[in-house]
A and B are shown apart, each in its own frame.
Chain A
Amino acid sequence: MYFKVEMVCLGLYAFTFPHNLRVVSRAKHVNNKQNREFNQTAERVPGYHGNSDGFHGPVYQEEAGCIPFSSSVVFRQKMELPETIRKRLDDFSRNILFDQTRTVTFAEENDGFLPHEKPVLSSLQLQMSLYFNMWFFPCWWISETVMLHLKYPALPEYYKFILVTILLLMTLIEAIRLYLGYAGNLQEKVPELAGFWLLTTLLQLPLILFQLFNEAILIQPLERGVHIVLTVFILIQAASGFAALRNMVRHTGSQFHLQQFD
């Protein structure tokens, strides 16, 4: 199924990651600067709803066999963040994180586009790191639980409580974070992606750095190994998530802005 499309360039852009790229880039020209060299003649997929305001993600076509990096089946159901949280995250991204009063928005460029020439705003690097993070997470969890169980008697009382709490917290945050990252990136939704980015940088990053650098919790060699891998993932997601969020904020109008005039 990958081999139907013709590939001009190697590297990240040679294959149809994620599924969204395949669906959205039915055009010959993909204007996103990330995909400058990416040129594929994908067949037209019926039922595609245009991405005019960037908030209604394309309808996914179920295809035979899976495409890695996206589990589009998950997002058929409407499991969205509550509306107030979405509005707050949207405001945060547009007004605090990326101040748009001084930068030229790209809204004017959209007028010259033909309907099928939409820039692809999903970030490939982010999607790849989310996909592999999702696969790596069970390994990390099992390693961490086993090592905590083994070193539990040797820990002081307060660290016993702290480490169990941190393990629970990191599990929960990781699950929510990965879901939001998938939803935000594939469906090009700013609030979800902003939520993902905040969870990554403000919660997960300090927790994993604490586990990696605090020698008082008797860090074992296996823990060092798995924590190093997870830290690399989180750092990559923080960086590429930031870039993806900035791109998305610049290229999409505010979904909530229009509602003020109703």
Chain B
Amino acid sequence: MSAVSSLVPARFLTLIAHLVIVITIFWSRENNVKACLPLNFTQEQYDTEDKKLLVGLGVTLGLFAIELTGFFSGVSMFNSSQSLLSTGVHASASVALLFFLFEQWNCDIYWWILAICSVVPAFVEILLFVAVVGLKKKPL
């Protein structure tokens, strides 16, 4: 099926794009943290918001680890529905995070992006893990 041979690299590239942007935000989150603070903020407020964003980024990286292990171990690599879902969701996450970075959006928006674009594919990945390893179904 030629569709599969283009779905696998597409999924990989969108995953990596999302991952690279998350790493980029991790290193340059200062402006975004300042965007969710009032104009006159104290250092403690800054630290609190910074820590919240750090936790969000950490959770994203953890969910990435889940999805990447599922992908590279072959559990969901050739599953067309999961690949399609993952490609679409990570592509939208990449675009959204690009705007988040460049337009210096509010850091509350990051939690929405996290919920829709990181939790959903990781959750489906866990379901697939359970289905393949636990219920011994075929990994397709």
A15 near B77 with CB under 8 A, answer yes
Contacts of A210 in B (CB 8 A): none
Interface status of B84 (Cβ within 8 A of chain A): no
Given contacts A12-B74, A136-B16, A226-B20, contact A65 B27 (CB under 8 A): no
Q: B residues within 8 A CB of A42?
A: none
Q: How many angstroms between the C-alpha atoms of A218 and B32 in the bound complex? A: 21
Secondary structure type dominating chain A contacts: helix
Interface residues of A in 217-257 (CB under 8 A from B): 221-222, 224-226, 228-229
- Of the stretches A3-11, A82-90, A98-106, A112-120, the one at the interface is A3-11
Whether, in the assembled complex, B28 has its beta carbon less than 8 Å from a beta carbon of chain A, the answer is yes
How far is A14 from B25 in the complex, measured between Cα atoms in Å? 36
Binds A, one of B4-12, B38-46, B49-57, B110-118: B4-12
Is the beta-carbon distance between A221 and B13 smaller than 8 angstroms?
no
Total CB contacts across the A-B interface at under 8 A? 76
Q: Could you tell me the distance between the alpha carbons of A228 and B78 in the complex, rounded to whole angstroms?
A: 26
- Say how far A106's CB is from chain B's closest CB, in angstroms: 28
Shortest CB-to-CB span from B18 to chain A, Å, is 10
Cross-chain contact of A229 among B1, B16, B72 (Cβ < 8 A) = B16
Evaluate contact between A10 and B132: CB separation under 8 angstroms: yes
**Which residue of B1, B9, B17, B133 is within 8 Å of A10 (Cβ)?**
B133
Name the one of B4, B13, B20 contacting A225, with C-beta atoms under 8 angstroms.
B20
The interface size bin for chain A is 20 to 34
Asked if B21 CB lies within 8 Å of chain A CBs, one says yes
| B27–A221 touching, CB < 8 Å | yes
Residue numbers in A under 8 Å from B12 (CB-CB): 132, 135-136
Is A59 among interface residues, defined by CB-CB distance under 8 A? no
Contact A12 B73 (CB under 8 A): yes
| Bound CA span A13–B75, Å | 10
Name the A residues within 8 Å of B81 (CB-CB): none
Task: Quote the shortest CB–CB distance from B104 to chain A (angstroms).
Answer: 14
Tell me the residues in window 108-159 of chain A with beta carbons closer than 8 Å to chain B beta carbons: 128, 131-132, 135-136, 139, 143
Partner of B13, one of A7, A10, A139: A139
Q: Which residues of A contact B28 (CB under 8 A)?
A: 221
Evaluate contact between B20 and A68: CB separation under 8 angstroms: no
Instruction: Check B20–A222 contact: CB distance below 8 A.
Output: yes
Q: For A3, A136, A221, A224, which residue has the most chain B Cβ atoms within 10 angstroms?
A: A221
**Interface set, chain A 1-42, CB cutoff 8 A to B:** 1-3, 7, 10-15
Instruction: Give the shortest distance, in Å, between B35 (CB) and chain A (any CB).
Output: 17
Q: Give chain B's interface residues, CB within 8 Å of chain A.
A: 1-2, 4-5, 8-9, 12-13, 16-17, 19-28, 72-75, 77-78, 132-133, 138-140
23 of the cross-chain contacts (CB-CB < 8 Å) are: A2-B1, A2-B4, A2-B78, A2-B140, A3-B140, A7-B139, A10-B74, A10-B75, A10-B133, A11-B139, A14-B74, A15-B78, A66-B2, A66-B5, A68-B4, A68-B9, A132-B12, A136-B13, A139-B17, A225-B20, A225-B23, A228-B23, A229-B16
